[in-house]
Amino acid sequence: MHKSSLQYVRCVKCGHKLELESFESDNEVTEGLLSCVKCDGVYPIISSIPFLIEDLSLFFSIRAKLGGHLLLTVKNSRIKSLIRKSLQGIKKIGDDVTDLEKNWVAIYLKSKPSSFQIKVKHVIEQLPQSDFFLEHGCSIGAMSEVAAKYHGKVFGIDKSFFALLEAKKRKIKDADFFLADSLSRPFGTIKFDVVMALNVLELIEPIKLLKIIKLQTKRFVILSDPYDYERGKSSVKVRLDEKSLRSKLQQIGFKVVGNTCKPSFISWKLEVNPRLELHYKVDLILAIVSDK
């Protein structure tokens, strides 16, 4: 984490500012602890990635293998103790998604840029230059890297540690990445000029996410999804399709603009292995805040 990012992050338990204790740093903090100035919130920084997670035990309940990996990775004894305590506090262990999250990173890395990425890149390029850009579900940071070329400071959040490691490897100037739940508001009440969420509506409860994005957005929102709700069948209760998504955006104070007013079917190919490709048709939306 860049030390300059400290002024923006907030406690996901109570929303107050955080204090930084750095144990290892170079150009940025590679190991440290973020502590809330008001409540008992404590958040580790591991491999330069802040874990802005309210309940680490719950997080590790489906990532126990990741917890073990982190215990071997970190050097600081206090962070080790925090991880160990969180693992011991797991109440119910679910299916471990550690390897699944690593596999998706490998898929994203070996898949060639498709029409979808090219189209999103074009949308980002055409927006007025902004100072502050947020991407929900940033994954390996490919689109965050594009945003950083045309806009100011860029923040990316995701719940996959291994994806964020790849994002950090890009060493994007004026960009920083955080492990956090998109619904937890790790930046408090701070507003961004542009908020982007690509292909996450089947992984994060859509209406809840849209309400969070509305609170975070000053000007523009970029959304996309293939509406493959089987991918996140255990994550989403209320499903939005191409029509209801646009209706909900209008209802909460956005105006869909340009040729994204109509549903689109943009090709997004993912190379799973030499014998299997996923070929999605993605709907892309650009909207602007309309209720000022």
DSSP string, the chain: --GGGGGT-B-TTT--BEEEEEEEESSSEEEEEEEESSSS-EEEEETTEEEE-S-HHHHHTT-HHHHHHHHHH---HHHHHHHHHHHHT-SS-----HHHHHHHHHHHHHSPP-HHHHHHHHHHHHSPP-SEEEEET-TTSHHHHHHHHHSSEEEEEES-HHHHHHHHHT--TTEEEEEE-GGG-TTTT--EEEEEEES-TTTS-HHHHHHHHHHHEEEEEEEEE---TTTTTTT-SS---HHHHHHHHHHTTEEE-GGGGS---EEEEEEEETTEEEEEEEEEEEEEE---
**pTM score, whole prediction:** 0.95
pLDDT 10s digits, 44-94: 999 999 999 999 999 999 999 999 999 999 999 999 999 999 999 999 888
Residue 292 has pLDDT above 70, yes or no: no
Q: Which domains does the chain have, with CATH numbers?
A: 3-96 (no CATH), 103-289 (3.40.50.150)
pLDDT 10s digits, 149-207: 999 999 999 999 999 999 999 999 999 999 999 999 999 999 999 999 999 999 999 99
